A and B are shown apart, each in its own frame.
Chain A
Amino acid sequence: MDITTQSIDGGFAEPVFNAQVVFRAIMDAIARPGTVQNLPQLARPPAPLSATAGAVALALCDNDTPVWLDPRLQAEASVKAWVGFHTGAPLANTPADAHFALIANPKEMAALDGFAQGTQEYPDRSTTLILLVDDLASGPSLLLEGPGIEKTSMIAPPGMPRHFVEQWKQNNQRFPRGVDIILAAPGSLACLPRTTRIKTMEA
């Protein structure tokens, strides 16, 4: 399939209702960190962008939100064309300019503090990171606590960034500044807002 066809295909079949379904899943996930929200396959973006991450981008991004693509996605012209065609979002030149960052290879990703952190007055002006992960259960366990969590909750995404627990601790300390993370797995998603603390990490 040539790039033009690939970039036009695979958007939401019902833009209004599909966007609402995806948003509610994200809202529930960010309000209850660590819970896994199931999501039917609503978007079919070109690889290596996943269906879940593509759907999140379609639901939240538009011409007001510069999007940063990690090198793996950047290398695929069809991904750039798909995101551009369906969302109208401009590509951010640097991670610090991005409102959203799509990251297909979290293991190799740039440090969290390289993304927009917001300011002390406007902490909302920060990057939301959309990390593509294989699942939410097979990696090292992350024990979570913080707002939205009654006692503790647990997720275990594999292939997270290097020194993630340490980086996340620093992200917590920057509060109210900091980045939020959406973990996009096949058929489901979970969120780590900046308020969530990772208690311990089992081997």
Chain B
Amino acid sequence: MNAQSTDIATYNFAYLDEQTKRMIRRAILKGIAIPGYQVPFASREMPMPYGWGTGGVQVTASIIGPDDVLKVIDQGADDTTNAVSIRAFFKKVAKVDVTTETARATIIQTRHRIPEQPLTASQVLVFQVPIPEPLRFLEPRETETRKMHALEEYGLMHVKLYEDIAKHGRIATTYAYPVKVEGRYVMDPSPTPKFDNPKMHRSPALQLFGAGREKRIYAVPPFTDVVSLDFEDHPFEVQTFDQPCALCGAENVYLDEVILDDHGGHMFVCSDTDHCEKRQADGQHGHLAPETHSASGKMEPVE
């Protein structure tokens, strides 16, 4: 030890201490072994507030190694505060390579979206989860919801979906749409739009879920059945959009509404920014795409 060292405090690789990582790693292994079951874990204080992805950050910190390439998305976007901050955090505390390209990433931490580009077996998707218990708004007591999971008693959830139909004529849940994992546990897929639920079904990538404030970790192994709850006469349906992305012209992707002015002008663009930028770079464009974009790309060789 060098007494002259000016580094009065340095962090362990990936911020967490080793005992914490071991505890989280054990919880992750149990979560994978019992798909959809919420494993309690001793969530730590992180240098960011609850609600900013402390659960996801702890899971990522426990699995990440120096060779990993990390991508972080927030509602599909790589460039929003939460995504930028978490990416910068891991760049600093783990010195890992970061990317915005879905295909290059080995670990993708996400807040409420699954990338449009299909994931591969060499990728791990880490979800940030606010309320891991799908039954919580129906039954506030943890002792009771735990018993309901133990007894596989999910009638209440079906009643809730039925009440939606009675009131609105359809199942009105559009995000955090409950799923049943491998025919056993009802699970909250985190507040992803229900558009992404089918992507969880038999995904080749491992999916891990971390809820920091609620102190729960759960998982969906690759090639595992993830079925959205529904009724025979009201089958599960995803959102559809009646127009393509205004910037890249993509169809069958999840779109965000962007307000353009205060006269009611708006457009719909891809929520997945990497997907949108890739398509625009490939020369695809929608009706509001900047005219110069594709032209400037082609002009490069001239310069």
Contacts and interface: CB of A to CB of B under 8 A. Distances in A.
Given A19-B22, A32-B121, A124-B31, 7 more contacts: A20-B13, A27-B206, A61-B22, A120-B151, A148-B223, A150-B204, A180-B29
Contact of B21 (A19, A31, A126, A194): A19
Given A17-B66, A124-B37, A23 B25 contact: yes
A27 B30 contact: no
A180 B63 contact: no
Interface of B: 12-13, 18-19, 21-23, 25-35, 37, 39-40, 62-66, 121, 146-147, 149-151, 182, 184-185, 204, 206, 219, 221-225
Contacts of B28: 27
A65 interface: yes
B238 to A, nearest CB: 23
Contacts of A61: 22
Contact of B30 (A31, A59, A124, A148): A124
10 contacts: A15-B18, A17-B13, A19-B21, A24-B63, A27-B25, A120-B151, A147-B225, A148-B224, A176-B185, A195-B221
A15 B13 CA distance: 11
B29 A195 contact: no
A147 B147 contact: no
A30 interface: yes
A180 B37 CA distance: 15
B18 A195 contact: no
Interface of A: 15-17, 19-21, 23-24, 26-28, 30-32, 59-62, 64-65, 99, 119-124, 126, 128, 147-150, 175-176, 180, 193-195
A139 B26 CA distance: 29
A176 B37 contact: yes
B22 A120 contact: no
6 shortest interchain CB distances as A-B pairs: A193-B33, A148-B221, A120-B150, A124-B30, A147-B224, A147-B221
B20 to A, nearest CB: 10
Nearest to A58: B22
Contacts of B223: 147-150
B19 A124 contact: no
B160 to A, nearest CB: 22
Given A16-B18, A148-B221, A121 B146 contact: yes
Nearest to B223: A150
Given A15-B18, A60-B26, A176-B184, A195 B147 contact: no
Nearest to B33: A193
B93 to A, nearest CB: 12
Contacts of A28: 206
Given A120-B150, A194-B33, A62 B22 contact: yes
Contacts of B225: 147
Contact of B29 (A15, A26, A64): A26
A24 B208 CA distance: 13
Contacts of B66: 17
